Structure 1
């Protein structure tokens, strides 16, 4: 429905073979264009000329928290990238990751974050605490090499 606000209960995680993960939160998505700083030269009069120019783009790590349902695919992905005592295999295990938001009735995609060339920098497994009523969660922090946000707001029938 047009103008409908999105809620976390209708966001899902996908990553090259890892699917059906219910997203609780996504944090950190963003980028920064680091400006160069310095003197470009001086003129006849000795006046120093400064000019900042765009430098290298830098992408933030993205932390995705999901409900834990007993599926070990996220933990296995982390382990495949970070086996102790062996050469790291993170480059061979990069994945395209998407977080996809749907309308409340879960029938229409509204927004998609496509994260490029990801590998997990950290994984936090479920915490078991009998004093809490919340579902158990797992969290993965992924390093990314770029992203795109695809809004389908105009595609949703109102």
Structure 2
């Protein structure tokens, strides 16, 4: 099975203490290093010398859409961190979040993305529509402080 591609639908999600959730989708994650352009000075004949340097790194938030089954653990996490009018406990409720991608055999872990110090910044409650045949979903958007992409030691060989 060398060089097998990973199916986008074969993955697992957990957030410290929130496990066995059936996740419909996880938004693409991206991070960028905002380069800055600085003028170093002026040289012979008035030539301006510029240098691009790394600036602040910026991570996008991640949105996780889950099939709702009556378990309120995602909503409860949001309330602990973000509810107006009440003491926000986001610092104490940050979680490590993992997304794991599996090979088509559904047991070989191929890639793991570990997000650190995550907390929810928005929550979308289930929506009901009598004309819709889809399952009811809820969504949570999380801010992340850092991440690491790992290739599993059990991964398929190249």
CA contact (8 A) 1:81 1:90 kept: yes
* C-alpha RMSD over aligned residues: 2.2
Question: Are residues 34 and 4 of structure 1, via their aligned partners in 2, closer, same or farther at CA, if it must alter by over 3 Å?
Answer: closer
Q: CA deviation at 1:4?
A: 4.6
Residues 86-105 of structure 1: pairs in structure 2 closer than 5 A = 86-105=86-105
| 1:47-105 CA distance string (max 9 Å, x none) | 22111101111111111111111110000000000122134221221111011222344
Q: Give 5+ residue unaligned stretches, structure 2.
A: none
Aligned to 1:14: 14
Query: Within 2, Cα distance between the matches of 1:105 and 1:38?
Result: 51
TM-score (norm 1): 0.87
Partner of 1:47: 47
Q: 1:29 touches 1:62 (CA, 8 Å); kept in 2? A: yes
**Counterparts of 1:83 and 1:5 in 2: how far apart (Å)?**
38
| Regions of 4+ moved over 6 Å | none
**Structure 1 residue runs without a partner (length 5+):** none
Aligned position for 2:32: 32
Whole-Å separation in 1 of the counterparts to 2:27 and 2:57: 19
1:44 CA displacement: 4.4
Q: CA deviation at 1:6?
A: 1.3
1:93-128 Cα offsets, whole Å, 9 max, x none, are 111101122234432222221111111111112112
SS at match of 1:120: strand
Partner Cα distance (2:15, 2:92) in 1: 14
Structure 1's 126 and 153: CA in aligned 2 closer, same or farther, altered over 3 A?
farther
CA contact (8 A) 1:14 1:98 kept: yes
Contact 2:102 2:111 in 1 (8 A): yes
What is the aligned residue count?
Answer: 157
1:76 corresponds to 2:76: yes
Does the aligned pair in 2 maintain the 1:28–1:61 contact within 8 Å? no
